[in-house]
Structure 1
Amino acid sequence: MKKRGVKKVMTIIFSCAAALLLLAFITLFLASGFLQPQKYLQPWDKSYAKLHKDPRVQLAAFGLLAANGHNMQPWIIKLDKNDPMTFYLYADPQRMSPQADPLARQLMVTQGTFLDYVAVAGQKIGYPVTITLFPKGDYNEQQLAQSMSDKPVARVVLKQADPQRSPLFNAVYLPDTNRADYKSDALTKQQVDSLESLNEGEQITTKIYQDKANVRKLGSFAIDGAVIEAGVPRVTKEASDIFRPNEYQKNNYRYGFSFEGQGTSGFSLYFMQGLVTLFPFLNSEKAASDLMIQSTKTSINHTPAYAMISSRDNSRASQVKSGMLYSRLTLTAHNLGLAVQPVSQALEEYPEMSKLYHGIHNTYAPEGQTIQMLVRIGKPTEKVPQSMRRDVMDLISK
Structure 2
Amino acid sequence: MATKHPTRRNILKIGGGITLVAAGGLLWRAEDRGVFTHGEGPAYSAWGMWNAPEYKGTPFALVAAAVLASNPHNTQPWYFRVTDTSVSVEADRARHLGSMDPYLREMHIGLGCAIENMMLAAPVNGFAATPELQTGSLAEDASRSGRSLAAIIHLAKTDPASEPSPLHDAIARRHTDRGPYDHDRNLPDGFTGGLASLANGMPDVHLRFIADGDARERIDSAIVNATTAIVADDDMLHDSNVWFRNGPDDIEKHKSGITLDTAGMPPGILAAAKMLPPLSAETSHRAWLNATQDVHVPSAAAMGVIAVADRHDIKSSLEAGRLWQRIHLTAALAGVAMQPLNQPVEMADRDKQLGRAPDWEKRISAFSDEGFEPTFCFRMGMPTRQAPASPRRPVDEVSETA
Q: Please give the TM-score of this superposition, normalised by the length of structure 1.
A: 0.87
- Specify the code of the residue in structure 2 equivalent to 1:339: A
Match of 2:338 in 1: 340
After TM superposition, the structure 1 = structure 2 runs for residues 273-352 of structure 1, keeping only pairs within 5 Å, are 273-275=274-276, 279-280=277-278, 283-297=279-293, 298-314=295-311, 315-348=313-346, 349-351=349-351
Distance 1:101 1:272 in 2: 28
Q: Does 1:55 align with 2:62?
A: no
Structure 2: stretches of 5+ with no match in the other structure: 1-5
Confirm or deny: 8 A CA contact 2:303 2:377 kept in the other structure.
yes
Structure 1: stretches of 5+ with no match in the other structure: none
Match of 1:168 in 2: 167
Confirm or deny: 8 A CA contact 2:96 2:144 kept in the other structure.
no
Report the number of matched residues: 385
Using the TM superposition, give the Cα deviation of residue 29 of structure 1 relative to its aligned residue in structure 2, in angstroms. 2.4
Distance 1:218 1:46 in 2: 39
Confirm or deny: 8 A CA contact 1:309 1:322 kept in the other structure.
yes
Distance 1:268 1:304 in 2: 25
Distance 1:42 1:18 in 2: 38
Match of 2:234 in 1: 233
Classify the secondary structure of the residue corresponding to 1:90: strand
- Specify the code of the residue in structure 2 equivalent to 1:303: A
Classify the secondary structure of the residue corresponding to 2:305: strand
CA separation of 1:49 and 1:238: change in aligned 2, threshold 3 A? farther
Using the TM superposition, give the Cα deviation of residue 176 of structure 1 relative to its aligned residue in structure 2, in angstroms. 2.8
CA deviation digits over 1:53-100, x for unaligned, max 9? 6711111111100110111101111123xxx12111111111122210
Distance 1:245 1:255 in 2: 11
CA separation of 1:94 and 1:211: change in aligned 2, threshold 3 A? same
Confirm or deny: 8 A CA contact 2:94 2:145 kept in the other structure.
no
Using the TM superposition, give the Cα deviation of residue 239 of structure 1 relative to its aligned residue in structure 2, in angstroms. 2.1
Confirm or deny: 8 A CA contact 1:250 1:388 kept in the other structure.
yes
CA separation of 1:171 and 1:202: change in aligned 2, threshold 3 A? same
Distance 2:129 2:252 in 1: 32
2:372 to 360, 369, 372: 369
Using the TM superposition, give the Cα deviation of residue 48 of structure 1 relative to its aligned residue in structure 2, in angstroms. 5.5
Confirm or deny: 8 A CA contact 1:264 1:385 kept in the other structure.
no
CA separation of 1:265 and 1:87: change in aligned 2, threshold 3 A? farther
- Specify the code of the residue in structure 1 equivalent to 2:19: A
Match of 1:117 in 2: 117
Classify the secondary structure of the residue corresponding to 1:73: coil
- Specify the code of the residue in structure 2 equivalent to 1:179: R
Match of 1:127 in 2: 127
Classify the secondary structure of the residue corresponding to 1:313: coil
Match of 1:179 in 2: 178
CA deviation digits over 1:275-324, x for unaligned, max 9? 2xxx23xx101111111111112121111111111112332111110000
CA separation of 1:361 and 1:268: change in aligned 2, threshold 3 A? closer
Distance 2:203 2:141 in 1: 31
Distance 2:309 2:116 in 1: 20
Q: Does 1:202 align with 2:203?
A: yes
What is the aligned-residue RMSD (CA, Å)? 2.8
Match of 2:88 in 1: 88
Confirm or deny: 8 A CA contact 2:241 2:281 kept in the other structure.
yes
CA separation of 1:252 and 1:216: change in aligned 2, threshold 3 A? same
CA separation of 1:100 and 1:354: change in aligned 2, threshold 3 A? farther
Classify the secondary structure of the residue corresponding to 1:94: coil
Match of 2:3 in 1: none
Using the TM superposition, give the Cα deviation of residue 252 of structure 1 relative to its aligned residue in structure 2, in angstroms. 1.2
- Specify the code of the residue in structure 2 equivalent to 1:335: L
CA separation of 1:397 and 1:209: change in aligned 2, threshold 3 A? same
Q: Does 1:360 align with 2:357?
A: no
Q: Hey, which bits of structure 1, 4+ residues long, moved more than 6 A?
A: 265-268
CA separation of 1:334 and 1:100: change in aligned 2, threshold 3 A? same
Distance 1:46 1:244 in 2: 23
Using the TM superposition, give the Cα deviation of residue 148 of structure 1 relative to its aligned residue in structure 2, in angstroms. 7.0
